[in-house]
Structure 1
Amino acid sequence: MSRLTDLIARAKAKDAALGEELEREFKALASRRAFGLNFERHRPESVELPGRHVRRGDKVRVLPPRGSTQRGDQRLWRVIRLDGEGEERRAQVALIDAEVPERADVAVADLVVVAEFRDYIYPGLVSTGRVQRGGDKPFHTVINGENFHVLEALTYTHRGKIDAIYIDPPYNTGARDWKYNNDYVESEDLYRHSKWLAFMERRLKVVSALLNPKRSILIVTIDEKEYLRLGLLLEQTFPEAEIQMVSSVINPKGTARGNEFARVDEYIFFVKFGGIALSRSNRDMLNERDYALDEDVRWRGLARTGRKGLRAHNPGSWYPIYVKTDGSGIQSVGDTVLVEEPEPGEAPEGTVAIWPPRANGQEYSWSVVPETLRALIDKGAVRTGRIDLKKLSVPIYYLSFNQLSAIEDGRLQVIGKAEDGTLELKYATGSRSAAPRTIWNMTSHDAGSHGTSLLRTLMPDRRFPFPKSLYAVEDALRFFVKEKTDAVILDFFSGSGTTAHAVMRLNRQDGGRRQCISVTNNEVAADEQATLRKAGLRPGDPDWEKWGICDYITKPRIAAAITGKTPEGKEIEGDYKFTDEFPMAEGFDENAEFFTLTYESHVAVGANFAFQRIAPLLWMRAGAEGRRIDDLPADGWEVADTYGLLVDLDRAGTFCATIAAHGGIRVAYVVTDDDRRFQSVARALPGGVEPVRLYESYLSNFRFSIGR
């Protein structure tokens, strides 16, 4: 609607009467709000692509002169013609959506390509390095690019295949922590909240195509600025999901904020899809106590209180229990006394009758009926606490049916019997767990000690604002990917790379082969940009890009974690803590490759001229494992570790026979415009191998499948 407001203002400037009439109708329409979260869906975002070569037909902006710190011309131009070569190359450009046609002749070096989010893209990837220590394990991938466009690229490689997403999006604090349409969103921006919601909604809608609908989890962290709006947005975007929010203490010292309570926590939304199960832990997350170390088995109190424990709700559980007057325990169990029946008279000799609790005129009940209690006593599964017959205080405890089942399956072990015949129990090793609470208060989640300080240990001379605690991310993921050791995890606000680091730790703990896809841009911090511009640098220059978040922080952090060495080549000092303690210098047996997103021409893709940039996407779709086919095969076909590529269909027989003999192929890519011949190859492939037609499947995915 902010876009409509701008257009109405322009209409009023040209025709006041028409503008005022449009404004009245607009206000009447805007007052009819639908139920739910309502916000301005601003005009689609745009992103500048300084590394992209200018082509005819591109949308571009004209950059300010080198050395200037002034904001450049934000108008969009269309490239009409390109002339010249090298540094002398010039472009004829025409202003887009201009009331009066305007053209200009501009040096190509002074133009930057702009991609608007309503435009279709045809993505590719260029490798910028790799670290390999994990043998045949899948590769973790780090992609430098606008995260919305990378998410769209992943709809081709990972549609419905993502098991877990962990994101820490910008918190919209009013500081310069994120941009909308190339502008920082300041605290004074009247559309600050709606811009943030529009920004998030576009990405979450693409996410819905990536998550495995049968079993997956979306984890989103946020603070108090936007948690209410985010909760509603998640409910509205994913009506089929089960959503729960927890509070997590990340700064025990607290952050003072003027006339406010000192904030110590943030919030985590867990959005559960399909049959995703929550794995129990040996900690309840509220207390540091380790339940796995508990020796004492807790027996349940027999007395029921509360509304559900009222006698009227449990008429069969109102009866006397006869306790020996010498304090040695239970002698016998009486029969049920219904409401209309009188209570029995004298207790058996040498006993006293103990009835369910009474309080404030209410009568409560026991947890089980008489027959069940007698059977439990025979098993040694009922005992008394400290008996005080003067006060008729006789605490009675029993083992629940779940605990009796735990004895049968070995989770609880009987180690003997007490003098009164009751069972003595202990937990079997590794069997004790607790349901995690909705408030997390763990020392390991302190973002200062285990985020900022840990990052300084990995990269002593590099700083990143507010990194997450490594162990906090690890814990959040463990609850949902513990049992899935080959899970694919995505973080499209990866920042310093904490999520990938946490996935590596999880793999080390159980020998898993989980892989993480980390997505971030190469934005340079706001404070540093002015200095670089004064030095005559621009985005896209190597001396500018080396200070960007991806090149300066994310990639070096992940490389340091794997190799155990700082970016300067020194062994990392110190040890990892919690759950799995070992020297950081040991590193991890993992593989990682770094990529930059590219924007291809659909004509070049269809004509097989962009294969080297499409190749990493084909490899990722097949699992990002083993060798990659980076060039068109000279023999017309090639088979790698997990996929094959057929270019010459006259070699289809040999290709299909090789795939059948290999046994580990997941995907077969067939380059052809002939659907009949493609189907013929598909029928000849072994079962379980996915046939994919190039480049029809690629082009149609980005032309039709991504909703605009």
Structure 2
Amino acid sequence: MSRLTDLIAQAKERDLELGRELEREFKVLSARRSFGLNFERHRPENVELPGRPLRKGDKVRVLPPRGSTTKGDQRLWKVLRIESENGMRLARLELIGVADPESASVAVDDLVVVAEFRDYIYPGLVSTGKVERGGDKPFHTVINGENFYALEALTYTHRGRIDAIYIDPPYNSGASDWKYNNNYVGEDDLYRHSKWLAFMERRLLVARQLLKPSGALIVTIDEHEVRRLGLLLEQTLEGFTIQQVTIVINPKGVTQGYLSRVEEYAFFCFGPECKIYPGDDDLLTSKDSTTSDDGYSRPRWKGLLRSGDEAERKDREQMFYPIWINPKTKRILKAGKYLPLGEEPDFNVKDEEGNVAVWPVRKDLTLGRWGIGVYTFNDLVKKGYVSLGAYDKKRKSWGLSYLSEQLRKEIDEGTLVVLGRDPNTGVADVVYEGAATRKVRTVWHRTSHDAGAYGTDLVGKLLGNGRAFPFPKSLYAVEDALRIIIRGKPDAVVLDFFSGSGTTAHAVMRLNRQDGGRRQSICVTNNEVRSSEQYALKAENLRPGDEEWERHGICEYITKPRIAAAITGRTPDDQVIDGDYKFTDTFPIADGFEENAEFFTLTYETPVSVSHNRAFARIAPLLWMRAGSKGRRIETLPDEGWEVVDTYGLLVNLDKSAAFCQAVGSNGTIGIVYIVTDDDRRFQSVVRHLPDAVEPVRLYESYLNNFRFSMGR
């Protein structure tokens, strides 16, 4: 139910006639439609926080009994106090949002804390493991937590510092692929679309604050919400240039309705100062090209000898003909008449000038055929569109290649140009217009973007042991999308707050390997257990928060092990991963990557514990991330009153500021320092002795102020 209809219902309970009058007016207003996307902003989402310790004042739900597969009580209660009775910890509760408050006493173990989006949060992070193979490279980070709250945490560490955001949100297909207020949103939900839009809008508003003006947001989607998402992006990203890309992800197609769907979509939202980096492939036309030392990108010519089906001589009699060449100058002269099936070719025939005939002979030494007819071949020779390769002694034949019909069409369109012709052979030097790069098109059709082969199958190979993740993106499709935005940014920061299996982090690692970059990714995912598995776990007396339950969640079971496997080249069972990466930069998957990654779980702190230094261990990772996620981290409050590490410093005891400032000044890699004080005058006194290039941050004033404001609500 939307927030307005909820309030009207409450009004009816108190004054029926007033409630009905409000309802009539609401229906009149809701029937009006102004220009643009109109939808109901449903009551703010809430999220359950299993495992979070219970505190006085918390909002909670009462869990169903262990072993029960029912949904349980969805009402919200407030914790008035926590007591011990007969060795059991009990919480005294009061029902929230009712005219006549109801009280209850419930065992603490049977309660789960609930956070509402209208509530302020004070986030922290707890490390749950790391993989280190990248030396002094920055760390990729994975955050397990509700992504809205994780985005708010990033407003403290990365506001205006993200180069690219790539997200693959729930598609709202009606197949229980996402939750709203702890309920799966099915296709029979009358508010399905408006709930999804409200869900997305809240996150996009915060994400926009994280992007650099030169950054870009990429959102993938399918046909269920593509039209509404386009309008939502226009309304929330004012000043951005938005383009829609169609990507063929399943060439076999999925029959839906009358037609077979093969595609999904990606919205590219370019910031007001964004500059893109075209690639060597426009992702639609010619599939292959190479870049030479002269800076030009050239297409790959097609082999003239037919291969695959119907490639034998008998299949196309008129395409078995001799091609006359000059073996000294390697100039192609012309094609002769085709040889009827009843006649045998002469492999030693020469004319008076020493020119020889080339016949179509296959690798198994059987007679094949050429890929085009005599007339077309001779026309292409005149234009310089046929090239002679090396001589094959075994086959007594020469390699030949030509410009395909598609490439010839691109010449006519101006995408390809003839740079010149070889003075001896007459063969055209065909290059892509403009530079070594090509402008990416808005329709992508590449084998590498097949979500089955290079998404589902690849994830299965990385994880081994039958682990699977539903509908992961093709690694190479994500890589191609990001390349446009960050190709020329070797230190880019990439965010994915619907991380799923971790494909975005994997793609960033591949891009780093290709050009020696030091880019880092930040991936956010929750630890939700798949709906199809929850029933069985509940039947085993398990519920969220239990170690065995959490072990089956997305983050623990899929995301973390997938990223670790990509880096190490070994499955979670320590087996060497078979196979090679394909397409750009082919190498064994088992080689892994020289990268670092650390995994965190989001925590929820109180402002009192933060301001009194009792939450420093959980705040410490945020300070490290704000300093670039590089090098050593200050994990605990320093005994000396200050500490300096690779990229940042911490001053707790201001009486030690002289030694601290001297250490910072002598370390050329420090970019930020955190100074813990409630006294602004003493803070400014320390700042005056710091190098100008160092950013001073006052703790915990900057942290608490950042989260006292409601971000994107």
| TM-score clears 0.5 | yes
Q: Which amino acid letter does the alignment assign opposite residue 552 of structure 2?
A: W
The answer for the alignment partner of 2:8 in structure 1 is 8
Counterpart of 1:51 in 2: which secondary structure?
Answer: coil
Q: 1:296 to 1:166 in 2, by over 3 A?
A: closer
Counterpart of 2:665 in 1: which secondary structure?
Answer: helix
Identity %: 65
The answer for the alignment partner of 1:241 in structure 2 is 240
| Contact 1:124 1:617 (C-alpha < 8 Å) held by counterparts | yes
- Aligned match for 2:280, one of 279, 282, 285: 282
Structure 1 stretch displaced more, 520-529 or 697-706: 697-706
Matches within 5 A, 1:17-36: 17-36=17-36
Shift of 1:427: 5.2
- Aligned match for 1:267, one of 249, 265, 268: 265
The answer for the alignment partner of 1:651 in structure 2 is 656
Counterpart of 1:531 in 2: which secondary structure?
Answer: helix
Looking at structure 1, the residues matched to 544 and 500 of structure 2 have their Cα atoms a distance apart, in angstroms, of 19
Counterpart of 1:266 in 2: which secondary structure?
Answer: strand
Looking at structure 2, the residues matched to 20 and 524 of structure 1 have their Cα atoms a distance apart, in angstroms, of 42
1:440-489 Cα shifts (integer Å, max 9, x gaps): 00000000000011111111220110010000000000011000010000
The answer for the alignment partner of 1:123 in structure 2 is 123
Q: 1:296 to 1:265 in 2, by over 3 A?
A: closer
Shift of 1:24: 1.6
- Normalised to the residue count of structure 2, the TM-score between the two structures is 0.81
Is 1:522 aligned to residue 520 of structure 2? Answer: no
Q: 1:86 to 1:177 in 2, by over 3 A?
A: farther
| Contact 1:292 1:433 (C-alpha < 8 Å) held by counterparts | no
Is 1:619 aligned to residue 624 of structure 2? Answer: yes
1:576-632 Cα shifts (integer Å, max 9, x gaps): 001010001100000000000000011000111000000000000000000000000
Looking at structure 1, the residues matched to 140 and 299 of structure 2 have their Cα atoms a distance apart, in angstroms, of 43
Q: Which amino acid letter does the alignment assign opposite residue 272 of structure 1?
A: F
Looking at structure 1, the residues matched to 237 and 684 of structure 2 have their Cα atoms a distance apart, in angstroms, of 36
Q: 1:559 to 1:430 in 2, by over 3 A?
A: farther
The answer for the alignment partner of 1:536 in structure 2 is 541
1:480-539 Cα shifts (integer Å, max 9, x gaps): 100001000000000000000000000000000000000000000001111111111110
Matches within 5 A, 1:110-189: 110-189=110-189
Counterpart of 1:518 in 2: which secondary structure?
Answer: strand
Counterpart of 2:633 in 1: which secondary structure?
Answer: coil
1:182-206 Cα shifts (integer Å, max 9, x gaps): 0000100000000000000000000
Q: Which amino acid letter does the alignment assign opposite residue 272 of structure 2?
A: G
The answer for the alignment partner of 1:459 in structure 2 is 463
Counterpart of 2:5 in 1: which secondary structure?
Answer: helix
Looking at structure 1, the residues matched to 503 and 581 of structure 2 have their Cα atoms a distance apart, in angstroms, of 14
Looking at structure 2, the residues matched to 684 and 425 of structure 1 have their Cα atoms a distance apart, in angstroms, of 63
| Contact 1:78 1:96 (C-alpha < 8 Å) held by counterparts | yes
Is 1:477 aligned to residue 476 of structure 2? Answer: no
The answer for the alignment partner of 1:501 in structure 2 is 506
Is 1:487 aligned to residue 492 of structure 2? Answer: yes
Matches within 5 A, 1:333-482: 432-460=436-464, 461-482=466-487
Q: Which amino acid letter does the alignment assign opposite residue 546 of structure 2?
A: D
Counterpart of 1:142 in 2: which secondary structure?
Answer: strand
Counterpart of 1:494 in 2: which secondary structure?
Answer: coil
Shift of 1:290: 2.1
Looking at structure 2, the residues matched to 502 and 85 of structure 1 have their Cα atoms a distance apart, in angstroms, of 54
| Contact 2:120 2:710 (C-alpha < 8 Å) held by counterparts | no
Looking at structure 1, the residues matched to 451 and 236 of structure 2 have their Cα atoms a distance apart, in angstroms, of 30
Shift of 1:8: 2.4
Is 1:551 aligned to residue 550 of structure 2? Answer: no
Counterpart of 2:82 in 1: which secondary structure?
Answer: strand
**Matched residue pairs, number?**
600
Shift of 1:705: 6.3
Looking at structure 2, the residues matched to 528 and 446 of structure 1 have their Cα atoms a distance apart, in angstroms, of 27
The answer for the alignment partner of 1:353 in structure 2 is none
Looking at structure 2, the residues matched to 282 and 206 of structure 1 have their Cα atoms a distance apart, in angstroms, of 34
Counterpart of 2:109 in 1: which secondary structure?
Answer: helix
Looking at structure 2, the residues matched to 262 and 15 of structure 1 have their Cα atoms a distance apart, in angstroms, of 54
Counterpart of 2:673 in 1: which secondary structure?
Answer: strand
- Aligned match for 1:575, one of 580, 590, 593: 580
- Aligned match for 1:596, one of 582, 585, 601: 601
Structure 1 stretch displaced more, 128-137 or 287-296: 287-296
Shift of 1:274: 2.6
The answer for the alignment partner of 2:310 in structure 1 is none
- Normalised to the residue count of structure 1, the TM-score between the two structures is 0.81
Shift of 1:102: 1.2
Looking at structure 1, the residues matched to 101 and 578 of structure 2 have their Cα atoms a distance apart, in angstroms, of 63
Is 1:291 aligned to residue 295 of structure 2? Answer: no
| Contact 1:292 1:429 (C-alpha < 8 Å) held by counterparts | no
| Contact 2:505 2:522 (C-alpha < 8 Å) held by counterparts | yes
Q: Which amino acid letter does the alignment assign opposite residue 112 of structure 2?
A: V
| Contact 1:292 1:430 (C-alpha < 8 Å) held by counterparts | no
1:362-406 Cα shifts (integer Å, max 9, x gaps): xxxxxxxxxxxxxxxxxxxxxx989xxxxxxxxxxxx99x99xx9
Q: 1:495 to 1:288 in 2, by over 3 A?
A: farther
| Contact 2:141 2:597 (C-alpha < 8 Å) held by counterparts | yes
Shift of 1:687: 1.5
| Contact 2:432 2:438 (C-alpha < 8 Å) held by counterparts | no
Counterpart of 2:635 in 1: which secondary structure?
Answer: coil
The answer for the alignment partner of 1:642 in structure 2 is 647
The answer for the alignment partner of 1:222 in structure 2 is 221
Shift of 1:21: 1.2
| Contact 2:118 2:710 (C-alpha < 8 Å) held by counterparts | no
Root-mean-square deviation (CA, aligned residues, Å) is 2.6
1:421-453 Cα shifts (integer Å, max 9, x gaps): x99756599953322111100000000000011
| Contact 1:145 1:522 (C-alpha < 8 Å) held by counterparts | yes
Looking at structure 2, the residues matched to 508 and 432 of structure 1 have their Cα atoms a distance apart, in angstroms, of 20
| Contact 2:648 2:672 (C-alpha < 8 Å) held by counterparts | yes
Q: Which consecutive unaligned segments of at least 5 residues does structure 1 have?
A: 299-383, 387-398, 407-411
Looking at structure 1, the residues matched to 41 and 22 of structure 2 have their Cα atoms a distance apart, in angstroms, of 19
Looking at structure 2, the residues matched to 208 and 434 of structure 1 have their Cα atoms a distance apart, in angstroms, of 29
1:251-272 Cα shifts (integer Å, max 9, x gaps): 0000112x32110000010000
Counterpart of 2:696 in 1: which secondary structure?
Answer: strand
Looking at structure 2, the residues matched to 423 and 570 of structure 1 have their Cα atoms a distance apart, in angstroms, of 51
